[in-house]
Amino acid sequence: MFRIGLCPWESARSSATPIRYAVFVEEQHVPVEIELDANDATSLHALAWTADDTAIGTGRLLPSERHGGHSVGHVGRMAVLAPWRGQGAGSAILRALLEAARRRGDTELALAAQVHAIAFYRAHGFLEAGEEFLDAGIAHRMMRRALRP
């Protein structure tokens, strides 16, 4: 089991940055200059911690946007260190971000899923929306999920 903490970037930065660097920059070859961005400062960050207080996963919830009377949140930068994948940390992070979006009144949640992770997001109620596109040279697809209050 993992402990999930939600916090602003100032508190998350020292733990989230090495995780994101390992997953996105080292494993997936995302250019380091685009991995950290201005959205970090305005997002709510989730961190997954092991029983011995090791940070092993992260994700973020960007500020809501208004679209046609709906409040839409956006999940991004979901990353779990390789040795911990498949053990529930990513699901725990995503559930925490879904609940945070629901609490703040979002009616929908969107994310840009890497194509290899579509099944993971489907298992959490997200559906594909739109065509495949490249982001940082990696194939992605937009996915959306309605949230109930």
What is the tens place of the pLDDT at every residue in 9-25? 999 999 999 999 999 99
Total domain count, the chain: 1
Q: Which domain CATH number covers 122?
A: 3.40.630.30
Cβ atoms < 10 Å from Cβ of 12:
22
pTM: 0.94
Digit-coded pLDDT (tens) for 51-62 = 999 999 999 999
pLDDT on residue 149: 66
**Regions of the chain short of the pLDDT cut 50:** none
Question: Can you give the residue range of the structural domain that contains 34?
Answer: 3-146
pLDDT on residue 66: 85
Question: HEC states along 18-63?
Answer: HHHHHHHHHHCCCCHHHHCCCHHHHCEEEEEECCCCCEEEEEEEEE
